[in-house]
Amino acid sequence: MPKYTYDKIKERLNKMIDLGNEPEITLFIYGKVYMIIGYEGRCSFQRCGFHDGSGEFYYNTLDELYNSVTVDNILLSRDWNDISNFERDSYEWYCDEDIWGSEET
């Protein structure tokens, strides 16, 4: 079971974007590492890795990404419960606790 719900990740990414940042959330699923990057007006998804990484695939919204089959046949709406871990990017060191809240859900 993942540490965060989709709604919590969406809320947190949107708060970071509202602060003028481009937040990155790393997620681990099916033995591979992926990254969601939030931008003003869009987001991207990619598999991480020096030799086997994928390009960034862009979506108009996080909801569009969540409901789209993307790299490696990942469909977040189907596969969310198989996420084994999340990592926040370096923005977390200056994030207000109100943005990230507790480590639960």
pLDDT tens sequence across 51-88: 877 888 999 999 999 999 999 999 999 999 999 988 87
25 phi and psi angles, rounded to 5 deg: -120, 120
Tell me how far CA of residue 70 lies from CA of 28, 79, 92, 98, 105, in angstroms.
15, 11, 27, 31, 24
The answer, as to whether pTM is greater than 0.95, is no
Give residue 95's pLDDT.
52
Which phi-psi region, left, alpha or beta, contains residue 72 (left: φ > 0; alpha: ψ -120 to 50)?
A: left
